[in-house]
Amino acid sequence: MFRRITASLSLISLVLVTLAPVATFAAPAKQNGNRQQGRRFKKLAPEFEVASNSSATVRVLIQTKGQPSAAHDNAIAGARGSKRAGYAALDMVVADVPVNQVASLALRDDVEYVSPDRPVKGAASLLNETIGATQAQADAKGNSGLTGKGVGIAILDSGVSANHADFAGTNNKSRVVASVDFSGSAKQGDADGHGTGVAGVAAGNGAASKGYAADYAGVASGADIIDVRVLDEHGVGRTSNVLAGLNWAIENSKKHNIRVINMSLGAPVRESFHTDPLCKAVERAVRLGIVVVASAGNMGRTEEIVGHNADGSNIYKLAYGTISSPGNSPYAITVGATDTHGTAKRSDDTVASFSSKGYTRFDHLGKPDIVAPGRKINAPMSQEPNPTLASQYPERIVKPVSSAATQNAYFNYSGTSFAAPVISGTVALMLEENNSLTPALVKAILTRTSQRLSGATYSNKGQTVFTQGAGLVNAASAVEMSRAVVPNANKLSAGEKIFRANTSLNTLSDSFSIGGENVPASKNVLYAHGVIFANSPVLINGIMMGDGVVLGDGIMMSDGVVLGDGIMMSDGIMMGDGIMMGDGIMMGDGVVLGDSIVKGDHLVLSGGIMMGDGIMMSDGIMMGDGVVLGDGIMMSDGVVLGDGIMMGDGIMMSDGIMMSDGIMMGDGIMMSDGHLYKDGVVLGDGIMMGDGIILMDGIMMGDGIILMDGIMMGDGIMMGDGIILMDGIMMSDGVVLGDGIILMDGIMVSDGIMMGDGIMMGD
């Protein structure tokens, strides 16, 4: 689910009333005048402490000793007032009485306190405050405007309770505009409860929140909801059920304006996304213009406790390589979950330990793409009789603060299943602002505008990316950038600028007020999913990166991280064919994931977990297709001995010296099909000279695209901060990359093997 976007959180104090035994109404006691004055002030709200002779009527809340009775009614009538309501469970009465009679009511022995019936503004939902949705929901002039109106979000899940008040639209007509069932279950509606919660996070309007501690509205409160039931009353289904749902959504996308498909579900990754049936179906939907949002999964940790937080809560050993399908698809926007720790500010947010982490099995893609709030999210509860989740976890049914509130309206959810719809709702706001955005542009904008979590620390950049992707969604920034994009973005061709005239990154907001904090606009992502984020962003077909690998669906970050088609570079760590590093466990072939349920600090697995082909346990010892022994010794297709010395298909020895298809020697000198010299001149298939001019195939890129201190452009060469990608060889800060070979601080990765400071399970 979501959380945190902008604006400060306004907390409203609510009067809490405890229940007391039934008592009869007693007549007011006669007291000394001074004593009566003192008692009156203790029992009157500040607004009534100054005596008034006004006979004007005021609405008051009378807290009674015991349940309200006929004696209270008579007393109100005797004060020339009228009773409006009595709340027996709260020992309270609401009445209209003349101002000059309020004090006399307070003097009664059977009255505890009298206060005005003040206007109460519910505490804003942390979800929208944290992600910046509150700002995003305002139009360009700051007026309330964006709600996702007219945008259809298909919820492929266990069903949606269409009769829930949070899904009502104009004239109380349900915004669940269509409902189909492919689950094969005999039960009707959302008998599980999962789907209703997901739909509420994406598009609930919070209508049932009256009488609760906060407004539990979702992100796109005006979007249309298309209920595509593919899971049964236990939250379980088959791939065929999901495929049937995807097929229906695609065929009916025009009829219901389905622009977003939310898939808060997952299956074990058994093959590459190129052949995975769910991934193929997702790709089809995306190519037809539908944005697909998928949950990362809830298998991001083991049950091994490795420490404790300051509050005494457990710290678990993390598990990498646990992204489920279809989240492993490069076409899906894969969402991990954050923990807001109960605040609207973003600075204390961390990735929830259960959130599945990358990379993806078989393809080794950098996932998740982004993260959003997904722990302890209050959202609509299924209104079907005895839904499964509420029956299993009754303690998580949200309690109202008023007896007048709708009971059993909300449930407290956790899991990446509820982070994904935060993004789906955000996408609906973006599409309402600019309906010409393509799925690729939506993903690029979300990636560019997301921000790294400042409250999280990792041992290396690889862990950072595989845990949180580009970072925490900033809906306000994403909507603003969507507004800046041309209104015919779906007609753009490669090489064209995507922003409107007189608009650039420099003209967009430098920062956003989110959760009471000033959050700078993110500038970390330089290239994402076909867009180069120069000051005037340009649409391209991708960047060629060595040996025919095109960085098209991936991203490039300013700190040297490149993710795309199985390649990841960060401080010298390269992810090729089945690699991982870190302080946790890497799970590769043979890991079976279920869409587990997060309960407290434990995972309740529906599908279980199994470790297979490449099983590896303990600190630095891995057994699989290759063998890793100890701190720096690896034997497989190649041999790694000690601190960075490797002999294999190519020969790489020590401090930055590598010999293979090309020759790289020392500090920034590389010779291959092209030549790189320390003074920054590259001669080869393309020619780069000086401070930013690139010539490729006779094409001269004038203003170019600036990446950090260097320049990057075209379909084959990238230069920035001493980084060159050319014919499969790359060097940067002592890193050598070529045909899956890398050296960095004793870490070498090649063909499914890895050595690091943690535990890994590979191919």
Higher pLDDT, 597 or 445: 445
Q: What is the pLDDT of residues 305-336, one digit of tens each?
A: 888 888 788 888 888 899 999 999 999 999 99
Q: What is the pLDDT of residues 283-298, one digit of tens each?
A: 999 999 999 999 999 9
Higher pLDDT, 677 or 304: 304
pLDDT mean over 11-31: 30
pLDDT mean over 248-261: 97
In the prediction, which pLDDT does 187 show?
92
pLDDT mean over 424-451: 96
Q: Which is it for strands 562-564 and 567-570: parallel, antiparallel or unpaired?
A: antiparallel
Q: Is the confidence at residue 249, as pLDDT, over 90?
A: yes
> Percent of the chain beyond pLDDT 90?
40
Task: Report the sign of the C-alpha dihedral through residues 613, 618, 623, 624, in that order.
Answer: positive
Residue 682 DSSP class? E
Q: How far apart are CA 339 and CA 396, in angstroms?
A: 17
Q: Which is it for strands 152-157 and 258-263: parallel, antiparallel or unpaired?
A: parallel
Q: How far apart are CA 412 and CA 377, in angstroms?
A: 5
Closest listed residue to residue 563, CA positions, set 365, 323, 330: 365
In the prediction, which pLDDT does 457 show?
61
Count of C-beta atoms within a 10 Å radius of residue 648: 19
- pTM for the complete prediction? 0.65
Give the E-state strand segments of 193-241 in sequence order: 224-229
- Provide long-range contacts, Cβ within 8 A and 24+ apart, for 31-36: 31/107, 36/107
In the prediction, which pLDDT does 313 show?
81
Among 57-66, 486-495, 665-674, which is the least confidently predicted range? 665-674
Q: Is the confidence at residue 647, as pLDDT, over 80?
A: no
Count of C-beta atoms within a 10 Å radius of residue 28: 15
> Three-state DSSP class for 668?
coil
Closest listed residue to residue 469, CA positions, set 357, 625, 618, 583: 357
566 Cβ contact partners less than 8 Å away, ≥ 6 residues apart:
359, 363, 364, 365, 549, 575, 576, 577
Q: What is the pLDDT of residues 537-570, one digit of tens each?
A: 999 865 544 444 444 556 676 655 655 544 444 3
Task: Report the sign of the C-alpha dihedral through residues 259, 292, 334, 505, in that order.
Answer: negative
Name the pLDDT band for 454 (thresholds 50, 70, 90): confident
Residue 123 DSSP class? B
Name the pLDDT band for 586 (thresholds 50, 70, 90): low
Name the pLDDT band for 423 (thresholds 50, 70, 90): very high
Among 215-224, 394-403, 436-445, 741-750, which is the least confidently predicted range? 741-750
Name the pLDDT band for 147 (thresholds 50, 70, 90): very high
pLDDT mean over 722-731: 34
Q: Highest-confidence range of 143-157, 409-423, 564-578, by mean pLDDT?
A: 409-423
> Percent of the chain beyond pLDDT 70?
61
In the prediction, which pLDDT does 473 show?
96
pLDDT mean over 599-606: 38
Q: How far apart are CA 369 and CA 448, in angstroms?
A: 11
Average pLDDT, the chain: 71
Q: Is the confidence at residue 34, as pLDDT, over 70?
A: no
Domains and CATH numbers, the chain: 1-123 (3.30.70.80), 144-468 (3.40.50.200)
Is residue 510 packed enough to be buried (19+ CB in 10 Å), middle (13-18) or exposed (0-12)? exposed
Q: How far apart are CA 133 and CA 425, in angstroms?
A: 9
> Three-state DSSP class for 316?
strand
For residues 576 and 637, the answer to whether their CB atoms sit within 8 Å is no
Q: Is the confidence at residue 603, as pLDDT, over 80?
A: no
Rounded to 10 deg, the angle between the 420-433 and 194-203 helix axes is 30
Q: Is the confidence at residue 145, as pLDDT, over 70?
A: yes
In the prediction, which pLDDT does 144 show?
52
pLDDT mean over 163-180: 94
For residues 370 and 447, the answer to whether their CB atoms sit within 8 Å is yes
Closest listed residue to residue 403, CA positions, set 19, 69, 106: 19
pLDDT mean over 231-248: 89
For residues 686 and 717, the answer to whether their CB atoms sit within 8 Å is yes
Q: What is the pLDDT of residues 35-93, one digit of tens each?
A: 455 555 578 877 887 778 888 999 887 889 988 899 999 999 999 999 988 867 658 78
Q: Is the confidence at residue 528, as pLDDT, over 50?
A: yes
In the prediction, which pLDDT does 260 show?
99
For residues 134 and 7, the answer to whether their CB atoms sit within 8 Å is yes
Q: Is the confidence at residue 100, as pLDDT, over 90?
A: yes
Name the pLDDT band for 747 (thresholds 50, 70, 90): very low
Q: Is the confidence at residue 279, as pLDDT, over 60?
A: yes
pLDDT mean over 261-279: 87
Give the E-state strand segments of 291-426 in sequence order: 291-295, 301-308, 314-320, 333-339, 350-351, 370-373, 377-380, 410-413
